[in-house]
Amino acid sequence: KVPGAKKKPVPKGGYPAGKAEDDSDDEVLKTATATNAADKDKAAEFKAKGNDCFTKGENAAAVEHFTSAIACDPTDHVFFSNRSAAHLCLGNTKEALADAKDCVRLSPKWSKGYSRLGAALWKAGRLKEAKEAYEAGLKLEPGSAVLQQGRDDVAKALLAGPTAGSGEKQTSADSADTAADDTTPILGIDLGTTYSCVAVWENGKVRMLEDDEGRYTVPSYVAYLETGERLVGERAKVQAAKNVRNTFFDVKRILGQKMTDEAVQKESKRLPFILVEGDDKQPLIELELDGKVKLLAPEEISAAVLGEMKRIAHARLGRTDIHRAVVTVPAYFNDAQRKATIAAGTIAGLEVVRVINEPTAAAIAYGLDDKTGEKGATDGANVLIFDLGGGTFDVSVLRIEGGIFEVKATGGDTRLGGEDFDAAVVKFLVEDLKKRHKVDIGDDLRALARIRQAAEKAKRSVSGNAVAKVEVAFGGEDYVLELSRSKFESLNKAYFDKTLETVKRVLKDSKLDPKEIDDVVLVGGSTRIPMVQDILKEFFGGRELCRSINPDEAVAYGAAVQGAILAGVRHQKCTDLLLMDVTALSLGIELDGGQMSILIPRNTSIPCSKCSIFTTADKEGDFAESLDVRVFEGERPNVEALMHQQP
Cβ contact 110:117 at 8 Å: no
Q: Rounded to the nearest 5°, which phi and psi values hold at 428?
A: -65, -45
Active-site position among 358, 413, 422, 553: 358
> How far apart are alpha carbons 276 and 283 in whole angstroms?
6
Nearest to 209 by CA among 311, 329, 352: 311
The residues pairing with 209 across neighbouring beta strands, listed in sequence order, are: 198
> How far apart are alpha carbons 317 and 481 in whole angstroms?
45
For residue 330, cis peptide bond before it (omega within 30 degrees of 0): no
> How far apart are alpha carbons 47 and 62 in whole angstroms?
9
> How far apart are alpha carbons 583 and 289 in whole angstroms?
43
CA dihedral (214, 218, 219, 224) positive or negative? positive
Q: For residues 416-450, b (16+ Cβ closer than 10 Å) or e, as one string?
A: bbbbbbbebbbebbbebbeeeeebebeeeebbbbb
3-class secondary structure, 345: helix
Active-site position among 73, 99, 190, 553: 190
Active site residue 252: yes
**605: amino acid identity, one letter:** S
Q: Does residue 600 come out as left (phi exceeding 0), alpha (psi in the -120 to 50 range) or beta? A: beta
Cβ contact 104:123 at 8 Å: no
State the pairing for strand pair 230-232/218-219. Answer: unpaired
> Quick count: other Cβ atoms within 10 Å of Cβ 288?
14
The H-or-E segment that residue 248 falls in is strand 247-248
Q: For residues 621-639, b (16+ Cβ closer than 10 Å) or e, as one string?
A: eeeeeeeeebbbbbeeeeb
> How far apart are alpha carbons 389 and 362 in whole angstroms?
12
For 19, 88, 119, 224, 332, the CA distances from 254, given in Å and listed in that order, are 41, 39, 39, 20, 14
Cβ contact 251:287 at 8 Å: no
Active site residue 371: no
Cβ contact 120:156 at 8 Å: no
> How far apart are alpha carbons 336 and 205 in whole angstroms?
33
Q: Rounded to the nearest 5°, which phi and psi values hold at 208?
A: -80, 140
> How far apart are alpha carbons 45 and 47 in whole angstroms?
5
What DSSP state is assigned to residue 17?
A: T
> How far apart are alpha carbons 102 and 30 in whole angstroms?
13
Active site residue 516: no
Q: For residues 26-39, b (16+ Cβ closer than 10 Å) or e, as one string?
A: eebbebbbbbeeeb
Cβ contact 554:363 at 8 Å: no
Active-site position among 252, 258, 310, 339: 252
Active-site position among 73, 102, 387, 581: 387
Active site residue 174: no
What's the chain's length in residues?
647
> How far apart are alpha carbons 634 and 647 in whole angstroms?
7
Catalytic residues: 190, 252, 358, 387
